[in-house]
Structure 1
Amino acid sequence: RQCTPEQRGALTRRILLVALLVPALAPALGGLLVQWLSWRGVLWASLPLAVLAIALVLAWMPADGLRSAPRLQGYALATAMSALGALLLALTWLGEPGHRFAGAGLLLLAAVLAVAHLRNARRQPQPLLRWSLLSHRGLRMAMLVYLAVPGVFIGSQLASTLQLNHAGYSAAQIGALMLPWALASALAITGSRRLLACFGPGAVLRLGMVLQASGLLLMALQSQPPFTLAATLFALMGAGGSLCSSTAQTLAFHGVDAEALGDASALWNLNRQLSFCLGTAAIALLLALAMQWWPAHATGVALGLAAVLTLLPLVLLRRSQLHSLSTPETA
C-alpha cells in the first residue's frame, strides 16, 4: 500500500533479491558450520539473526498498521493450521511402509478440516483468508507457479544433497553450489523487467520452467557430476526459478484493488511458505518410494520427477490468456 502500482515492479525485484539471495548464501555458510563445528552450530547461528530481525521490525514497521485489524478468528485459524499440518504429516508418512495407513487417514482428515474451514469462511463477512480472491487470474496462476517451481526446487535439494554426498562432496562443497545459483538468480531478477516488457509474463514463465526442469533433469542423469558441471546446473536452476519467482510476484498483485491488497498478500505469503513445505514433503515422498522400488537410482528418479512437476503449470499456461496481462512497467 505504501507504493503506487508503477513502483511495485521495482519493489518486487528488491524484495526478491533478499528473499532469494539470502537463502541461497545460507547453505554455503551452513555447510562450513557443519564441517567446522557441528550441526548444532547452524541452529545457534540463527538466534542472533532472529533477534536482529525483531529489532528491525520494531524500528521500521509503522505503528498505525494494526489499528484497523479485524478480530482474529480462532476457529478459522485452528482449522487452517490443523489441515496444513495434517497434510504435511500425511505426505511424510505415506512414504514410510509402517505408516501408510495412518498417512492415508491423515490425508482424509486434512480434506475434512479444509472443507470445514472453507464453509466457515463463506459465512464470515471478513474471513480470515479471503479465498474469493483466487478468482483473480494472475494471483491464482502466480500461486501455482510458486508451488511448482521454487517449492519443487527446495524439495529437490533433498535428492541432490544425497546424490552429491554419495559422489564424495563435503557439506561445504554442497553448500557452495548455491553460490552460482545465487548469482544466476540475481541476474534473472534484474533482467526480468526487460524480458517481461519484451515478451510478456507467459513467455517468461515458460522459459523459467524449462530452464529449471532442464537443470534438474541433467542433474538426475549424473551419478558423479564434477563440481564445474554441478555448478553450471545449479546456475541453470537458479536462473529458471528466479525468472518464475519474479514474474509470479509481479502477476500476483497486478490488477488487485487497493483495498484487497492486504488479503491478497496474506494468501500470497501463505502459499509462498507452504510451497517450500509442500515441495519438500512431496519430493521426500517420491524419494522414499524410489528408495524402496529403485534403490540404486533413487536420487535420479526423484530429481527426474521433480523436473516433471516443475513443468506442470505449462498445461494451464496454454489454456490461459496470461500473455495479454500487462505488467506494472508496461501498464
Structure 2
Amino acid sequence: MSADVGDGLAPAVEAVTSGSGKTDPSAASSSPTRGYRVIALVVASALFMQQLDGTVLTVALPTMARDLGTTATSLSLALTSYLLALALFIPASGTLADRFGSRSIFCSAIVVFLVGSILCAQAASLPVLVAARFLQGIGGAMMVPVGRLVLLRSVAKEDMVQALSWLVMPALIGPILGPPLGGFIVTWLDWRWIFYLNIPIGILGVIGSLLLVPEVSGDSRARFDISGFFLSGLSLGGLLFGFELASRPGTGIVALILLTIGAVLAIAYVRHARRTPDPILDPSLMRIPTFRLSVIGGSLTRITQGAQPFLLPLMFQLGFGLSAAKTGTITMAGAVGALAMKALAPRVLRRWGFRRSLIVSGLVSSAGYATCALFRPDWPTAAMIGILALSGFFTSFQFTGFNAIAYADVDKERMSAATSFYATFQQLTLSLGICTAATVLELGTLIEGRQTPTLAVFSVAFLIVAAISASAVIWNRRFAPDAGAEMSGHSGE
C-alpha cells in the first residue's frame, strides 16, 4: 500500500520523541497525526514480512512435503512450531521493550527472524525445518507486539482505530501477494526461495526502524517475572504440542500427558500471577469488560482464521488436483477482501458502533467459511473467489474491531502488559486452529483408510471451524451498546 512518507517525515518523528531520544508516553495524546502513520508504516513492514512468509508457505506445503520425505499434513508441525514460539516469547516482549527500549528489541527481532529464515531455506529434513521455524518464531514474537506497543503509546484514543488501520493495511499486501507468489516459486523455482525473500524486506525494516521509529520506553524498573516466564512457556508448550500430537495416529498417550502437564502448569501460573506484583501475563486484565470480551471473541474467531489458510491450499491441491499457481490465485481472494475493508472500518464503526458491527460481521464471515465446505472441482472459479473475498472482508473487519476495542479501557501504564497478554492468546488460538484442522484431516483419513483426505473430510473440517467462529457472536452480544465509543465516535444509540 503506497503512502506519502517523504516530506515532513523528520518533524513527525521528532514531535513524538524527547531530547533524549525516548518517547514520553504521557505525550501520546499530543502526537501529530502524521507521526503515527509513519510509525505504523515502518512497523507494518515487519508484519508484511511475517504475513508474506506464512501465506507463501501454506501454498508450498505439498511440494515441501515431497522434497522432505513426509506428508503434507505432517508439515502442520512446522507451522505449529512457529506459532508456538510466538506464544512462548510474546509474553516477554513487553517487559523486554520496557527495559531495553522498543527500537532495540524491534531491530534485534528482525535480525533473529532473518537468521531463522536462512536456516529454513537450508533445511533438509522435517526436524531441521521445525527447529528453524521455531527460531523464526522467536523473532516474530518480538517484532509485531513491540511495534504495536510503540504505536499504542504514541496515539490518542480517538485516533486508535485509524492508526491500527494504517498498521495493517500495508501488511495485508503480504496475504495478497503470498499465495500467487508461492505458486510461482513452487512451479518455476524452488520452495527454498520462500525464505530467501525475507532477507531484503528484513534489511529494509531494520534501516527504517533505526531512522524512523522512536525509542519508546516504559517502566524499566519492572522486575522480569522469570518464574512466570517458565511456567507460562511450559504450559503453552504442553498444550500446543499436546493438541498437535493428538492429530497424529499412535501418539494419543503422549498427547494426553502433554495436555495434562500443560493444564496443571496453567493452573500453577494463575496462582503464581495472583501473588506476583508484575506477572509476565497479567490475568487481572480480564476484569476489564471490553478487554475480556475482545480476548474471548477474538480467540474463537482466530481459530477459524488459523485453520482456513491451512485447509484451503491442501483441499485445492490434494482434493481438486489444482496446481500451486492456480491455488495461489484463488486463495488470495480473501486477502483482497480484507484489504478492501480497511478503509471502511472507521466509518462503519462510527455509524454502527463496535457491538452491532461485530455481531453482523461475525455471522457473515462464519457463513462464508462454512460455504467453503460446499466447494467442489466443478464450481466456477469466480464463485469461489467471490465467497472467499466476502469472508475475508468481514473477518478482517472483526479483527480490526477486536484489536481496537481491546484497549479502549486499558490505562497507558498497563498497555505493555495488555499487548503481551492479547498477542499471546492471539497466537495460541491461531495455533489451535491449525491443530484442529489437522486433527480432523488425520482422523478422517484414518477412518476412511486413505493416504490423503477426501473432499468430504475437508468439508467436515470447514464446518467445524466455522461453527467455532460463529460462537464468538455470543460474546459479541455482551458488549455494551456504547462500548469503545471514545474510539469509534459512535453515540451508542
Alignment of 1:104-123 (within 5 A): 104-123=256-275
AA aligned to 1:306 is V
Structure 1 residues 5-41: Cα deviation after superposition (integer angstroms, max 9, x where no partner): 1111110111122343423432322221111112212
Comparing 185-194 and 68-77, the one that deviates more: 68-77
AA aligned to 2:480 is L
Equivalent position to 2:186, from 34, 38, 41: 34
CA contact (8 A) 1:159 1:287 kept: no
SS of residue in 2 equivalent to 1:98: coil
CA contact (8 A) 1:35 1:171 kept: yes
Taking the aligned partners of 1:280 and 1:242, their CA distance within structure 2 comes to 18
**Runs of 5+ consecutive residues of structure 1 not aligned to the other structure:** none
- After superposition, the CA RMSD in angstroms is 2.0
Q: Which residue of 1 aligns with 2:59?
A: none
Q: Aligned-pair distance for 1:97? A: 2.2
Taking the aligned partners of 1:155 and 1:51, their CA distance within structure 2 comes to 31
Q: Which has the higher contact order (CA 8 A, sep 6+)?
A: 1
Q: Which residue of 2 aligns with 1:188?
A: 341
Find out whether 1:201 has 2:359 as its counterpart.
no
Cα distance, 1:95–1:127 mapped onto 2, change above 3 Å: same
Q: Which residue of 2 aligns with 1:126?
A: 278
Q: Aligned-pair distance for 1:98? A: 0.2
SS of residue in 1 equivalent to 2:155: coil
Structure 1 residues 73-114: Cα deviation after superposition (integer angstroms, max 9, x where no partner): 222112212211211111111122200111111100111111
Q: Which residue of 1 aligns with 2:172?
A: 20
Find out whether 1:172 has 2:325 as its counterpart.
yes
Cα distance, 1:250–1:84 mapped onto 2, change above 3 Å: same
Structure 1 residues 134-161: Cα deviation after superposition (integer angstroms, max 9, x where no partner): 1112112222233222441231222222
TM-score by length of 1: 0.92
Alignment of 1:132-171 (within 5 A): 132-165=284-317, 166-171=319-324
SS of residue in 2 equivalent to 1:322: coil
CA contact (8 A) 2:313 2:331 kept: no
Taking the aligned partners of 1:195 and 1:63, their CA distance within structure 2 comes to 34
SS of residue in 1 equivalent to 2:217: helix
Comparing 183-192 and 240-249, the one that deviates more: 183-192
TM-score by length of 2: 0.63
CA contact (8 A) 1:211 1:239 kept: no
CA contact (8 A) 1:163 1:223 kept: no
Q: Which residue of 1 aligns with 2:464?
A: 305
**Runs of 5+ consecutive residues of structure 2 not aligned to the other structure:** 1-152
Taking the aligned partners of 1:259 and 1:306, their CA distance within structure 2 comes to 36
Q: Aligned-pair distance for 1:67? A: 6.7
Structure 1 residues 158-204: Cα deviation after superposition (integer angstroms, max 9, x where no partner): 22222211213211222222432222112222212222122221221
Cα distance, 1:74–1:60 mapped onto 2, change above 3 Å: farther
AA aligned to 2:471 is L
Taking the aligned partners of 1:91 and 1:85, their CA distance within structure 2 comes to 10
Q: Which residue of 1 aligns with 2:422?
A: 268
Cα distance, 1:179–1:162 mapped onto 2, change above 3 Å: closer
Cα distance, 1:312–1:69 mapped onto 2, change above 3 Å: farther
CA contact (8 A) 2:290 2:479 kept: no
Equivalent position to 2:484, from 320, 326, 330: 326
Structure 1 residues 39-63: Cα deviation after superposition (integer angstroms, max 9, x where no partner): 2121222233333333333333333
Q: Which portions of structure 1, spanning 4 or more consecutive aligned residues, are displaced by more than 6 angstroms?
A: none
AA aligned to 1:259 is E
CA contact (8 A) 1:93 1:103 kept: yes
Structure 1 residues 229-259: Cα deviation after superposition (integer angstroms, max 9, x where no partner): 2211210211121110111112111121121
Equivalent position to 2:370, from 217, 229, 238: 217
Taking the aligned partners of 1:169 and 1:284, their CA distance within structure 2 comes to 20
CA contact (8 A) 1:145 1:244 kept: no
SS of residue in 1 equivalent to 2:427: helix
CA contact (8 A) 2:273 2:279 kept: yes
AA aligned to 1:233 is I
AA aligned to 1:126 is D
CA contact (8 A) 2:293 2:479 kept: no
Find out whether 1:280 has 2:440 as its counterpart.
no
Find out whether 1:3 has 2:162 as its counterpart.
no
Q: Which residue of 2 aligns with 1:99?
A: 251
Taking the aligned partners of 2:357 and 2:447, their CA distance within structure 1 comes to 37
Taking the aligned partners of 2:172 and 2:234, their CA distance within structure 1 comes to 28
Taking the aligned partners of 2:234 and 2:259, their CA distance within structure 1 comes to 11
Cα distance, 1:66–1:205 mapped onto 2, change above 3 Å: closer
Comparing 81-90 and 19-28, the one that deviates more: 19-28
Cα distance, 1:230–1:151 mapped onto 2, change above 3 Å: same
CA contact (8 A) 2:338 2:392 kept: yes
